[in-house]
Structure 1
Amino acid sequence: MKLGLEGKVAVVTGATAGIGLATALKFVEEGAKVALCARNAGKLEATIEMLRGKGGDVFGLPTDVAKPEEIERFFAAVAAHFGRIDVLVNNAGTSMRGPFLELQDAEWDADLELKLYGAIRCSRLAVGHMKRQGGGRIVNISTIGGKQPGAASMPTSVSRAAGLALTKALSREFAADNILVNAVCIGKIKAGQHERAAAAAGRDPDDLYRQFAQDIPLRRVGEAEEAANVIVFLASDAASYVTGSSINLDGGASAVM
């Protein structure tokens, strides 16, 4: 099924690995033009070349979304290159968590700057373009911990919960402008961070994934491509009556809807 994304311009942050990379590839497969940003210039260039090899019309710029001036530079460059922005996927983020009493202000600040303020600033810049052209889509990547936080899950769970509130508020404020805003709440998905943690502990990554799977009703860890399928659907014409929603992509692991 074609999703009506041909010629649309999709911005994906944190796009050189995992869900971000899979999402960028899916947009290319659907005929969208893609603008990418990530902090690592070498990985970003390799990603751009790979996507161009798949036939993609791709632009990228090294960007740290925790830094306002770099976000502004990136969005100005995207607008100059493609002339419009139709889709924003706020994917950039890392998992930072620890016992509450051990967390210092600097750790809270870093997490909020990256995940919450990064999404706020990117959305602010994208919405202007979307309003002028008659609509658009924003997809915020969150986690199931934003809905169901556990012990020692901060600051990530708090940042993600704020991101869900941002999603709902934006969806209501800009619905009249045909700007649809949704979130995807990620559970356990195969990713480099898990594999690096397994290597650091001297474990086989497959053993770690099997351990994760014990708490997942589907009894397996998800693939990045499965997350990309949902994200790109929400960005498409097929989801034209979906806004202000959050979808759990977790194999049934969360106890809340």
Structure 2
Amino acid sequence: MELRLDGRTALITGGSRGLGRTMAETFAAAGASVAVVARDQAVLDDTLGALEAANPSAAHTAISADVRMADEIARAHAQAVATCGPIDILVNNSGTSNARPFLEITDEDWQEDLDLKLFSAIRLCRLCIPHMRSQGWGRIINTLNVGAKAASARTCPTSASRAAGLAMTKALASEFAPDGVLVNALVTGLLVTHQWRTRWEREGGYDTFDDFVAATGERIPAGRMGEAQEFANLALFLASDAASYVTGTAINIDGGLTPVV
């Protein structure tokens, strides 16, 4: 089965690296126009080049914006629409792990994490859903992590922010299903991205990154870490017409790591 997104426009936050970039390239190769939003313009420019190579016939844009800020989100959305057209597919993918001991987390830390991971998704959904409703078709995919379902010690504020995103996913799915707007979440486990390479460079302990990845994968039931492309393949399915009866789900893509379904 070939999954296509011809004629669709996608907006992906956190889209310049890792999972976001892989999704962006996968969506573009499937025929979509893609707008990616992140902060580092140099990395965004490189990503834009990859999108144009994947689908040179579509309009793409790479927008530098801080999605923690409401006015920046509004600007990014407006720029994406102006260049690529109204948003049919929204992927809320911004955020990184910010786990630490609870007593060390300040009010400012909590607010920053909520702004980055939860309020950015809230604000973009509010901007994108009216168009989706008007045309009777829309897809929203929220990137979460295993802490959203099964939080462990020292995982705040990330686990709390992601759990709120999980609840919002279900609430929006129930509210907008009659309008043809489908809302789902992908719950990530341990996937090989630039964040893990940065962690390996910071912590050391292994001669090569491949050794680090192999050792980390030993604690996963599948016996390995996942690949960004495996994540993007599932996102492409949810964004496509093939997933027309799938909404309100939070799918684990974790090699069996999460202790709950």
TM-score, with length taken from structure 1? 0.97
Instruction: Using the TM superposition, give the Cα deviation of residue 27 of structure 1 relative to its aligned residue in structure 2, in angstroms.
Output: 0.4
Question: Take 2:143 and 2:202, find their aligned partners in 1: how far apart are those partners?
Answer: 27
Q: State which drifts further: 196-205 or 129-138.
A: 196-205
- Which AA in structure 2 matches 1:138? I
Q: State which drifts further: 233-242 or 129-138.
A: 129-138
Q: The residue matched to 1:169 in structure 2 has which SS?
A: helix
Partner of 1:51: 51
Question: 1:219-239 deviations in whole A, cap 9, x for unaligned?
Answer: 000000000001111011010
Contact 2:34 2:84 in 1 (8 A): no
Instruction: Using the TM superposition, give the Cα deviation of residue 103 of structure 1 relative to its aligned residue in structure 2, in angstroms.
Output: 0.8
Partner of 2:140: 138
Question: Take 1:233 and 1:55, find their aligned partners in 2: how far apart are those partners?
Answer: 18
- Count of aligned pairs: 257
Question: 1:23-48 deviations in whole A, cap 9, x for unaligned?
Answer: 00110111111111111111111110
Corresponding residue to 1:244 among 244, 248, 251: 248
Partner of 1:20: 20
Partner of 1:35: 35
Q: The residue matched to 2:215 in structure 1 has which SS?
A: helix
Instruction: Using the TM superposition, give the Cα deviation of residue 206 of structure 1 relative to its aligned residue in structure 2, in angstroms.
Output: 2.1
Corresponding residue to 2:213 among 209, 230, 244: 209
Question: Take 1:15 and 1:99, find their aligned partners in 2: how far apart are those partners?
Answer: 29
2:219 corresponds to 1:193: no
Q: The residue matched to 1:174 in structure 2 has which SS?
A: helix
RMSD of equivalent CA atoms = 1.1
Partner of 2:81: 79
Question: Take 1:179 and 1:136, find their aligned partners in 2: how far apart are those partners?
Answer: 4
Q: The residue matched to 1:158 in structure 2 has which SS?
A: helix
Structure 2's unaligned 5+ residue stretches are none
Question: Take 2:31 and 2:2, find their aligned partners in 1: how far apart are those partners?
Answer: 9
Question: Take 1:23 and 1:116, find their aligned partners in 2: how far apart are those partners?
Answer: 20
Contact 2:25 2:50 in 1 (8 A): no
Question: Take 1:51 and 1:98, find their aligned partners in 2: how far apart are those partners?
Answer: 36
Instruction: Using the TM superposition, give the Cα deviation of residue 199 of structure 1 relative to its aligned residue in structure 2, in angstroms.
Output: 1.1
Corresponding residue to 1:233 among 228, 233, 237: 237
Question: Take 1:138 and 1:185, find their aligned partners in 2: how far apart are those partners?
Answer: 14
- Which AA in structure 2 matches 1:248? N
Q: The residue matched to 1:85 in structure 2 has which SS?
A: coil
Question: Take 2:138 and 2:65, find their aligned partners in 1: how far apart are those partners?
Answer: 22
Question: Take 1:224 and 1:83, find their aligned partners in 2: how far apart are those partners?
Answer: 27
Corresponding residue to 2:117 among 115, 118, 133: 115
Question: 1:109-143 deviations in whole A, cap 9, x for unaligned?
Answer: 11000000011011111101111222200000000
Partner of 2:150: 148
Q: State which drifts further: 146-155 or 208-217.
A: 208-217
Question: Take 1:208 and 1:149, find their aligned partners in 2: how far apart are those partners?
Answer: 24
Q: The residue matched to 1:98 in structure 2 has which SS?
A: coil
Question: Take 1:187 and 1:36, find their aligned partners in 2: how far apart are those partners?
Answer: 23
Instruction: Using the TM superposition, give the Cα deviation of residue 205 of structure 1 relative to its aligned residue in structure 2, in angstroms.
Output: 2.0
TM-score, with length taken from structure 2? 0.96
Question: Take 1:207 and 1:4, find their aligned partners in 2: how far apart are those partners?
Answer: 36
Instruction: Using the TM superposition, give the Cα deviation of residue 211 of structure 1 relative to its aligned residue in structure 2, in angstroms.
Output: 2.3
Question: Take 1:55 and 1:101, find their aligned partners in 2: how far apart are those partners?
Answer: 48
Q: Identity of paired residues, percent? A: 46
Partner of 1:172: 174
Question: Take 1:15 and 1:83, find their aligned partners in 2: how far apart are those partners?
Answer: 18
- Which AA in structure 2 matches 1:107? D
Please identify runs of 4+ aligned residues in structure 1 that moved more than 6 A: none
- Which AA in structure 2 matches 1:44? L
